[in-house]
Chain A
Amino acid sequence: MLFNSLTFLVFFALVLALHNAPLPWKVKKTNLLLASYLFYAAWNPPFVILLWISTAVDWRVAKKIYAEDRPSRRRGWVAVSVLVNLGLLGYFKYGEFLLENWQVLMSAMGVTWTPPDWDIVLPVGISFYTFQTMAYSLDVYLRRAKPADSLLDFALFVTFFPQLVAGPIVRPTQLIPQFQKPVRASRDQLLWGLGLMTLGLFEKIVIADGALAPAADAVFGASKPVPFSDAWLGTLAFAGQIFSDFAGYSTVAIGVALCLGFSLPDNFRFPYAAIGFSDFWRRWHISLSTWLRDYLYIPLGGNRKGWHRTQVNLMVTMLLGGLWHGAAWTFVVWGGLHGFYLGVERFLQRQFGGAKIATTFGFKVFLGLLTYFLVNLTWVFFRAPDFPTAWTMTRTMLGFGVEGSELVLSTYLVAVVAAVTVGILVVHGFMRNRRLEQVVANAPWWLVGSVWAAMLFFILIAQGSGDAFIYFQF
C-alpha cells in the first residue's frame, strides 16, 4: 500500500480510529499487527509469509542465543538468523543477478551455459525488514539487548506498517520498549504528525513526482546522448527527486507513527548541506548507514586496525551498501565511489585537517558545493539503466562532450529543475544546523498554518501519479 494512495488514507483513518477506541492495549497492538499485515498484503498477499518466516526464525533464534553461554552455539544460532534473512534477500533480490554473472563467468571460461528463467517478483521492502529483523538477533548476540518478552511486541516490531517497506530501519531497542506500555498520541502529537505526513507527501507528490521526475526520466531515458547542460540538469533533477522521494517517505512514516503515539528516529538531516562525505552519511539514510556501521564496519574492525585496514573496511562496507540498493553492478560502483570519497576525505583530513583555512565560512561553502558536485556524479550510476549510459553521462558532465548529442529538456523543465534545485540547496543550507521542530516552534502560528495549507493545496492540485516510492524496489 502506498502512502500516496487513496487506499492508504482510508486505511489510516480506520487504524487511527481503532487505536483511539476504548480497547485494551493488547487488543490495540493486535489491531496494529493485523493492520500491518494488511498493509503489506495490499501489495501482494502471499508475501506476508516472508514476514512470518522472518518473525518466527528471529523470535526463536534470539531466545536460543540469550539462553546459551557457549560461544560456538551462540555463533551457530546467530548464523541461522543471518542465513535465513540473507537467504530470503539473496533468493528474491540477487538470484537473477548471481545467475547472470555466473553465466558471464562460465562464458569467459569457455563454458556455454544458459541459466533458467528467473521469473521471481521482488517482495517490496525486503531489504528493509530483513535488515531490521536481523538486527534484533545480532543485538541479542552482541549482548546489546535482551529478547522481547512478548511475541506480539516482536511481531509488531518486525511488521510495524509505517516503516515496514522503506524504513527508517529501526533497532529493536528503539521500538519494542514503546510497545510495552499503552500509548496514545496527544492532541499536539496527532496534529504535528499530520503536519509531517503533509510535508512528506508534498515532497513525494509535488517535488519528486511532479516537478523533478519528468526531467530525470527524459535525460536518463533518452535514446541519444544528451549535451552537457541536459546531462547536468537531468542529474540534478534526479538528486532532488531521490531525496524528496525517500525523505518524503521517511517523513510520512515518522508522522504516521507519531499520530499513533510512537516515535521513530530521523532518517535524513538535510544531506545536500553536507560538508564532506562523513557528514553526508550522517545525514543521508541515517538508519542504513548506522546499521552498516554497527553490524558490518565495526565487526570488520572499524578504524581500530590501522590506516590501511580502515580504508579496506570502509570500501567493503560501502560496496556492500551499494549492492544493498540493487542487484546491479552500477549500484556497486555507486557504493564504491562513496567508499573512495570517504577514503580520500580521511587522507586529506589526516594531512590537512588542522589547516586554518578549513574553519573559514567561505571554505566550508566551497567544500559543501564540492561535496554536492561529487554526490551528483555518484547519482549517475545509481540512476542510469546500464554502464554505457552512465559512462556517457559522466563523460558529458565532466566536459568531454559526446558527438551526436541532442537536447531533450524543454524550457519549462529547465526552469523547474533549476528553481527546485536552488530551492533545495537553500533550504538544506539554512537547515544545516537546525532542526525542523526548532524552526517551526520559532515561527508564528499563522505562518505555520499557511505553509501547511499551501502544501496541502499543492498536493491536491498536483493530483499525484500514484507512482511507487523509488526505495520500494530496494
Chain B
Amino acid sequence: MPSSTSSSESEPVILRRIPELRWPRVAIVALVLAAVGLGAWEAYWRVAQQYDASYRNSDGQWAEARQRIDAREANATVFIGSSRTLFDIDLDVWKEETGVHGIQLALEGSNPLPVLTDVANDDDFRGLLVVGITPPLLFLPGIGLRAGVLEHYYDETPSQWMSTRLSYPLETTFAYYNLDTKLFTVLARQAWWPDRHGLPFQQPEVRKLEEMRRDRQADLWERVETDPEFHAVVTGTWRAILENLPPPPPEDVARAQFQALLDQVAGDVAKIRARGGEVVFIRPPSSDFFRAFERKAVPRERVWAPVVGAAGAVGVHFEDYPALSDVRTPEWSHISAQDKARWTRALIGILQKVMVERGVHRPEIKT
C-alpha cells in the first residue's frame, strides 16, 4: 500500500496523454492487416480443412430451444439424450410424419437424466418426451460435457440472450467461428507436443462432428465419412475414451447408485404422466468397437431393460428392429447424415406400432 502520512488533498482530474502519432494511418494499417490475417485464417479452414459455417451449438442456443417448452409449445415433442439422439433424429422428417416440429434438447457427451428431471419439474410441459439412451453416459455424474446448459438456461442474463442472437449471423457466415477452431483449442491438439512423462490419461478433445441448424437439427459432418484421416481421429478418440474409463465403484455402491437412478427415472416419468404427458425411451444404434464395448460394459439386460422397466414406458431398442439397425454408423456411434431420414421415419413407424400395442395414445405421434 502506498505510504502516506496524510491526504487532505482531493484527487484532481487526470487528463490522459495521447501518443503523438499519425493515428488514421495506424488504424488503417491495423484494420487492413487484421482483415488480411482473418481472411487467410478463414480461407484455411474452408479450403484446407473443409469447414463450412454452421451454428455453434452454444448454451444460449440450447436455452433458446428449451424456452420453447415454456413459451409456446407445452404439448411439443421434446428429444433429450446424448449426441446419438442429437445427430440421429431428423426434425424435418419428424414434422413431415407427425406434424410436430420437435424440440431438440439432446446434448453431446451428456447424461440425459438431469434434463429429464428438469423437464419433469417444468409444469408447462405436457407433451411427449423422447429419451435417447446411450448406456455408458447414464453413469456420468451430473450432465457431463455440457454441464453448464441448465444453469445458463435458468440464469441467462439479458446480455447473454442478446449475445446469442448477435452471434448467429456470424456463426452462419464464418467457418472459422467454431468451437473446434478456437486458437488455443487448435494449439493444444497439435501433434508436436511431446507426452509428459508421468501425466495420467487425459481425455482427448472430441473434434467437430456435426453441422447444426438454428433449431438444433444436427447432421453428422460429411468429413467424418469422407476423410479417412479425420475418420481415424474420431474413432481414435472413442477408443481412447472407452479404454481409459475410470474403474466402476464397488459392487454394492454401484448397485445402490443404479437403484437411485432407477428411482429417479420412475419418479420423473410419473410426474410427467401426472400432468398428461408421456415418455418413451429409444436406444439409437452403435457399431464395431463402440457396440462391443457397450455389450460388455453396459449390457442391455443390466442397463436398458431396468431403466425402461422402472419407467414403465415404451422402449424401442435398435437391436429389435432391422429397420433401425440397417443404417451406417461411420464412426461407430452416429448415423450417417444420408441415413438419418430413413431411420427417423422407421422409428416413428415403430413407435406408432408399439404405442398402439401398449395402449398408449398420443396426439403428437398420431397412433
Contact = CB atoms under 8 A, between A and B. Distances in A.
B13 interface: yes
B4 A298 contact: yes
Given A174-B11, A187-B23, A293-B1, A462 B183 contact: yes
A292 to B, nearest CB: 6
B100 to A, nearest CB: 33
Contact of B158 (A6, A41, A145, A281): A41
Given A263-B13, A437-B19, A44 B1 contact: no
Contacts of B245: none
Contacts of B140: none
B199 interface: yes
B1 A292 contact: yes
A7 B13 CA distance: 31
B71 interface: no
A45 B158 contact: yes
A411 B196 contact: yes
Interface in B223-246: none
Contact of B19 (A178, A214, A317, A441): A441
B38 A214 contact: no
A445 B21 contact: yes
B162 A449 contact: no
Interface in A404-458: 406-416, 435, 437-438, 440-441, 445-446, 448-450, 452-454, 456-458
Interface in B10-42: 10-34, 37-38, 41
Interface residues of A, number: 91
B329 to A, nearest CB: 31
Contact of A453 (B3, B29, B200): B29
Given A449-B27, A452-B26, A7 B5 contact: no
Given A293-B4, A453-B31, A188 B159 contact: no
Contact of B1 (A254, A289, A409, A449): A289
Interface stretch (B116-124, B187-195, B209-217): B187-195
Interface stretch (A17-25, A51-59, A70-78, A189-197): A189-197
A316 to B, nearest CB: 11
B184 A450 contact: no
A385 to B, nearest CB: 17
Interface in A288-330: 289-290, 292-294, 297-298, 302-304, 314, 317-318, 321
Give the bracket for the number of chain B residues in contact with chain A: 35 or more
B367 to A, nearest CB: 44
A211 interface: yes
A377 B314 CA distance: 58
Contact of B2 (A293, A445, A446): A293
Contact of A410 (B30, B37, B193): B193
Interface in B127-181: 157-160, 162-163, 166-167, 170, 176-177, 179, 181
A281 to B, nearest CB: 4
A173 interface: yes
Given A437-B18, A461-B183, A456 B34 contact: yes
Contacts of B359: none
A7 B24 contact: no
A302 B6 contact: yes
B179 to A, nearest CB: 8
Contact of A192 (B2, B18, B198): B18
A38 B199 CA distance: 48
A258 interface: yes
B163 A192 contact: no
Given A191-B26, A448-B26, A461-B176, A263 B15 contact: yes
A43 B167 CA distance: 18
Interface in B272-290: none
Contacts of B22: 445
B157 A42 contact: yes
A16 interface: no
Contact of A145 (B10, B17, B184, B190): B10
Contacts of A192: 18-19, 23
Interface in A390-413: 406-413
Contacts of B184: 210-211, 214, 416, 462
A171 interface: yes
B9 interface: yes
Interface in A454-474: 454, 456-458, 460-463, 466
A452 B194 CA distance: 33
B38 A460 contact: yes
A414 B196 contact: yes
Contacts of B202: 410
Contact of A289 (B2, B10, B19, B167): B2
Contacts of A460: 34, 38
A5 B1 contact: no
Contact of A437 (B10, B17, B182): B17
A9 B19 CA distance: 25
A359 to B, nearest CB: 20
A300 to B, nearest CB: 12
Given A43-B159, A188-B23, A453-B29, 19 more contacts: A6-B167, A6-B170, A10-B166, A42-B162, A144-B8, A173-B13, A188-B21, A191-B24, A278-B1, A281-B1, A282-B2, A297-B4, A298-B6, A435-B17, A437-B19, A452-B30, A453-B31, A457-B38, A462-B184
Interface of A: 1-2, 5-10, 41-45, 139, 142, 144-145, 171, 173-175, 177-178, 186-189, 191-192, 194-195, 206, 210-211, 214, 254, 258, 263-265, 278, 281-282, 289-290, 292-294, 297-298, 302-304, 314, 317-318, 321, 338, 342, 406-416, 435, 437-438, 440-441, 445-446, 448-450, 452-454, 456-458, 460-463, 466
List the 3 shortest-distance A-B pairs measured between CB atoms, nearest first: A449-B29, A453-B33, A441-B19
